[in-house]
Structure 1
Amino acid sequence: MDKTLSRDGTPIAYRRRGDGPPVVLVGGALSTAVDQEPLAALLERRFTVLTYDRRGRGASGETGPYAVRREIEDLAAVVAPAGRRVSVFGMLTGGALALEAHAAGVPMARLAVYEPPYTPGAAGRLYKARCGTRLHELLSDGDLAGAVALYLSRTGVPEPTIARMRHDPLWAGLEATAHTLAYDDALLGTGAVPGERFAGVTARTLVVTGGFSTAQAHESTRALAAAVPRARHRTLTGQTRELAPQAIAPVLTDFFTRDVCAHLAS
């Protein structure tokens, strides 16, 4: 992987593949660039695809203390060489990061997000606060396995499945990035969709949810699409929170390619 330096000097590792208009993929909680490879392999047929390790994960460095603005600066460093032609796709909390970055002025031609896990409404905000408090307690106690288990449980993974996962070799990798769950928690704020801030998102935006996803996911993505000025909502038939690369790749190709045509015609 190549590396670029974020504004605070933190090295951010990234991988570039393919040839064509630039697209950056932003992963969600506990993910690294490796997890983005299946989708990148499908998109590289039409695009130059950049995947990267968010700070504190994989081959990227980490400089404390954490702040959301630092992750925004990391993403800005990755997209900078592509200029204003870059399109961005963010999965889950990676979508929240991409939205925050563009609202803060990071240029993007088009932006697509899949189920940023906001929890709108009074009950949703209370749930987010309780989970956040418990997460920070576990991390403060050094219970990385407990933090991973809490995250997986929150995302709907059954307890028996989590118990089996603890014996899988991949579990050690999850624990290695468990401390970054606090970063994803910070990205989501109170859990409410930050409508006032996202009014500054000027790129055409596609907000996607899975047809078999939870009612909360449908509610939150529709609230997000309503808050972003140039956004539209799309439900992807047959998909859940565990999005299949083969399902989203043609959607992104169509959405990002139409933007390129419009750009070349202008």
Structure 2
Amino acid sequence: MNTLISKDGTKIAYKKQGSGPSLILVASAAADHKDAEQLAVKLASHFTVYNYDRRGRGQSTDSSPYAVEREVEDIEALINEAGGKCFLFGSSSGAVLAIEAASKLEDKVIKLFMYEPPFIIDDSRPPVPANYVQHLNHLIEEGKRNEAVEYYMSEALGIPSEYLEYVKADPSWKSMEGMAHTLAYDGMIMGETQSGNPLPVDRWKMNVPTSVMVGENSEPYFHDAAKSLVNLLPVAKYQTLSGQDHSAVMMAPDVLAKEMVNFYLNSHHDLNEVSI
């Protein structure tokens, strides 16, 4: 892993591979660079891929107090390392961090590809509790990492309690426990966008060409959210990924990579179309 130092002194670890235009991959909650390794491999024949550990995860360090702006600075440091301009990709809450970065660093982001930003804009599923971030931080302060991951799984992901024991049996659970203190970070990134209310009309000001993609088999609220976001952005399109769901980054990296390559390198005339 390579490393760089972000603006506040935090060490950011990243894996660089491939050749071509620069592309930065922004991980979702409870994930580090390893979760996107296969996607990075698929993309490396077309791009110079920067697959990094967000602060507080993997080989990156952390700094207190946390602020979303610090994570935007991390992305800016990576962009500067990559030559000053880049393509940007984010999945789930990482997609929301990516659009935050694109909005603040617009002249440095060429195109933005978002996979399933988990906005909750209506009553199609229960909203995330208003005290979600505070409760996560309380659990971490008490050393209850297992309970923090459970809380994230049930309240943010909406996984029924009867399925949690099956999820816990997977080796990835221990990895998520190790990153449990960062779950509140993603809650802060999401802000009020999981409250069941419409998206804020003035949060993201940018003209960066953007694709917002949702798995064909994903829950309706993902599709509703993506369409709503596209309607707020001046240069954006909504797309579906055939036969896939929220796990496409890890489970279908070849299919997702193909769509990303097409958008970043070939798409140029249809970004004002919204297929709803």
Contact 1:26 1:94 survives alignment (8 Å): yes
Contact 2:137 2:181 survives alignment (8 Å): no
Q: Which residue of 1 aligns with 2:199?
A: 193
> How far has the Cα of 1:142 moved from its partner?
2.4
CA deviations 1:5-57 (Å, max 9, x no partner) are 11001000001000111111111001101111010010111111110000000
Q: Which residue of 2 aligns with 1:138?
A: 139
**Runs of 4+ residues over 6 Å off in structure 1:** 122-125
Q: How many angstroms apart in 2 are the aligned matches of 1:157 and 1:148?
A: 11
> How far has the Cα of 1:177 moved from its partner?
0.2
| Superposition pairs of residues 90-129 of structure 1, within 5 angstroms | 90-106=90-106, 107-121=108-122, 126-129=127-130
> How far has the Cα of 1:150 moved from its partner?
1.9
Give the alignment's Cα RMSD to 1 decimal.
Answer: 2.1
**Is the deviation greater in 87-96 or in 104-113?**
104-113
Q: Which residue of 2 aligns with 1:263?
A: none
Q: How many angstroms apart in 1 are the aligned matches of 2:130 and 2:24?
A: 31
Structure having the higher helix fraction is: 1
Q: Which residue of 2 aligns with 1:220?
A: 225
Q: How many angstroms apart in 1 are the aligned matches of 2:142 and 2:223?
A: 35
Q: Which residue of 1 aligns with 2:7?
A: 7
CA deviations 1:92-138 (Å, max 9, x no partner) are 11110010011112511110001111112478795342544543443
Question: What TM-score do the two structures reach when normalised by structure 2?
Answer: 0.87
> How far has the Cα of 1:84 moved from its partner?
5.0
Contact 1:99 1:201 survives alignment (8 Å): no
Percent of aligned positions that are identical: 36
- Kindly tell me the number of residue pairs found equivalent between the two proteins: 259
Q: How many angstroms apart in 2 are the aligned matches of 1:77 and 1:84?
A: 9
Q: How many angstroms apart in 2 are the aligned matches of 1:251 and 1:130?
A: 37
Q: Which residue of 2 aligns with 1:170?
A: 172
Q: How many angstroms apart in 2 are the aligned matches of 1:73 and 1:147?
A: 27
Q: How many angstroms apart in 1 are the aligned matches of 2:201 and 2:104?
A: 13
Q: Which residue of 1 aligns with 2:62?
A: 62
Secondary structure in 2 matching 1:233: strand
Q: Which residue of 1 aligns with 2:215?
A: 210
Q: Which residue of 2 aligns with 1:89?
A: 89
Contact 1:125 1:190 survives alignment (8 Å): no
Question: What TM-score do the two structures reach when normalised by structure 1?
Answer: 0.90
Structure 2 unmatched runs, 5+: 269-276
Change (3 A) 1:8 1:112: same
> How far has the Cα of 1:79 moved from its partner?
1.4
CA deviations 1:186-231 (Å, max 9, x no partner) are 0011115343121x22210000011111111111111111112111
| Superposition pairs of residues 9-24 of structure 1, within 5 angstroms | 9-24=9-24
Secondary structure in 2 matching 1:147: helix
> How far has the Cα of 1:171 moved from its partner?
2.3
